[in-house]
Chains A and B, each alone.
Chain A
Amino acid sequence: MTLVDRINQAARRLPAWPIYIGGVLLPVWLFWQAASGALGVDPIKALEDRLGLWGLKLIVAGLCVTPLRRFARVNLIKYRRSIGLLAFLYIVLHFLTWLLLDLGLRWEQALGDIIKRPFITVGMVGLLAMIPLALTSNDRAIRWLGSARWQKLQKLAYLVALSGGVHFLWLVKAWPLEPFLYLGAILGLLAVRVIPKRSRLAA
């Protein structure tokens, strides 16, 4: 039995619900660390950064599911919904940390930042684009929309990923490597999706 077969077999047996439990515990743990000083002397920034980065990691992970199935025949599709919903949770918490703890509800400054600061504008676009995705991440919504329309709507995830990658790159000073790696991974994962279907046969 090949490695791929083994992974697929394991995936058939392992349910998705433990991902939700672990995924919800992570921000609880981060918040507790931040409050107790374990995240350093600037806990607000640390919490903001970590939540944002975990959100972005899950967004990238979610984008991996389809190419993995198509090119490596590894089928992890049953976990994709939990990955996406947790990404949404982290990005909402990332936003709330910024609004409540960092800005302390300075509404004028918050609105000014969203309108005037391109990196925050882009981040907000990504967050807003996640809302319809999260709202339709259930079987009832799929039935209600019909599979084809639902699939089309889910393409918003590409916008979410691009917004997230650009948001991260735009907020850093100088040229550290990490944001480039994320944006590169996102662009790569989007690029493989435009490879025509029949090229798979040639491969």
Chain B
Amino acid sequence: MPTKFIPDLNWSDVTPKAVFLNRRQLIAGAAALSVAGPAAAQLDYVKSDYSTDEEPNDLSDIRGYNNFYEFGTGKEEPSVNAQKLTVDPWSVKIDGMVDKPGDYDLADILSGVTLEERIYRLRCVEAWSMVVPWIGFPLADLLDRIGVQSSAKYVAFETLVRPEEMIGQRYPVLDWPYREGLRLDEAMHTLTILATGLYGEEMPKQNGAPIRLVVPWKYGFKSIKSIVRISLTDQMPETTWNMQNPREYGFYSNVNPNVDHPRWSQASERRIGGGLFGGRQDTLMFNGYEEHVAGLYAGQDLTKDY
């Protein structure tokens, strides 16, 4: 860690660019030794006021510890198994209650988009957490371009199904394709982004390349990876973990220390990277994004709408 880091500032604000790039190369180099994969391309991006001041996890943590059951249920399996995935060409079907439905090439989706760095906390439903410097853009930008019809109330997402390259899909561990959904106001919220990279580089395959959702106030499984379909609908969409176990995983799945998962407490979390004696920290309401998103749920009983 650079000693110049001051916790109340953005880390890249205070570190000279040369040092910062150098550090990134060191990390990327270290990661390349342990995690197979070609060197990723650098992305152009601007910084965002929505970034947290917390120190991001090392790239090796973020690339080496993934829940991506399409590539195996072990945390280290995706970093190995995902490297076979073809992410170019990539197209996303956008359909349902939209003005301009169609199959969009990823380049079309990204054309004219200003990528931002959003350093977000990520809280997994399994009670561990990380801080990830995502590169992406608000989902609302895309939805505005596509034109959401007034009848639409929800957005449904689907992950690619390609068992030849996604070996986890050869087993019915989950009901493929992986599906997720958001209420339209959640989807249009400025914190909700489609991410195409992290640490200034193209998205590693095990992290959901080439394009994934990031909803920082919800448990990580809501942030669906490797998206091939976005549908606007007036029905609450089916979501994979809710289909798997409706008692344990609700549609909303907002991070909430006061509503326990039936099989484990959500009151606290283990920050990845803390080592064997890192201990736990308290989990924050809406993962610390309460001031931004609490208004979305005014009048809702979050113990029922969990």
Interface residues of chain A, those whose CB is within 8 Å of chain B, are 34-35, 37, 40-45, 47, 101-104, 106, 109, 112-113, 116-120, 170-177
Contact = CB atoms under 8 A, between A and B. Distances in A.
B258 interface: no
A41 to B, nearest CB: 5
Nearest to A171: B263
Interface size class, chain B: 20 to 34
B197 to A, nearest CB: 20
Contacts of A40: 64-65, 75-76
Most chain A beta-carbon contacts within 10 A, residue among B61, B173, B276: B276
Majority DSSP secondary structure for residues of A touching B: helix
A37 B75 CA distance: 15
Contact of B263 (A47, A104, A117): A117
A64 B241 CA distance: 37
Majority DSSP secondary structure for residues of B touching A: loop
Contacts of B128: 42, 45
Contacts of A173: 73, 126, 241, 244
28 contacts: A40-B65, A40-B75, A41-B65, A41-B272, A42-B75, A42-B270, A42-B272, A44-B276, A44-B278, A45-B128, A45-B270, A104-B279, A106-B280, A113-B265, A116-B260, A117-B263, A117-B264, A118-B263, A119-B263, A172-B73, A173-B73, A173-B241, A174-B69, A174-B73, A175-B172, A175-B173, A176-B73, A176-B173
B276 A101 contact: yes
B61 A41 contact: yes
Given A35-B275, A35-B276, 8 more contacts: A41-B61, A45-B128, A47-B276, A102-B280, A120-B264, A172-B73, A173-B73, A173-B126
